Amino acid sequence: MNYPTEMLHQEPNARQILQKYWLTWQDIRQLEFCGRSKALKIVHALPHSYHGRTPMVRTVDYLAYYEAHDEVVIDWS
């Protein structure tokens, strides 16, 4: 899989995290260096699915959005 280079250099566990099929808000929090609120906003901004009570994003969708926009744009309203 093709990972964004800057992401791999910033987070030592990024390659391991990005090998998962689904990403939780905790994974996104580690990748984006942000808190719980921002990580959940990112999850809800992307196509997501609930597994139990946990919203999850497919890694493929996260990487595709990241490559297209260079960042995840969040509406804080």
Crossing angle of helices 36-45 and 25-32, in 10° steps, is 110
Candidates 23, 9, 33, 34; CA nearest to 65 is 23
Q: What is the largest CA-CA distance in the chain?
A: 34
Query: What pLDDT sits at residue 73?
Result: 67
Domains of the chain: 12-68 (1.10.10)
- DSSP string of 8-20, one letter each residue: HHH-TTHHHHTTS
Examine the pLDDT at 54 and tell me if it is beyond 90. Answer: yes
Examine the pLDDT at 9 and tell me if it is beyond 60. Answer: no
Report field, pTM of the whole predicted structure over 0.75? yes
Assign 51 to helix, strand or coil: strand
Amino acid identity for residue 6 in this structure: E
Examine the pLDDT at 71 and tell me if it is beyond 90. Answer: no
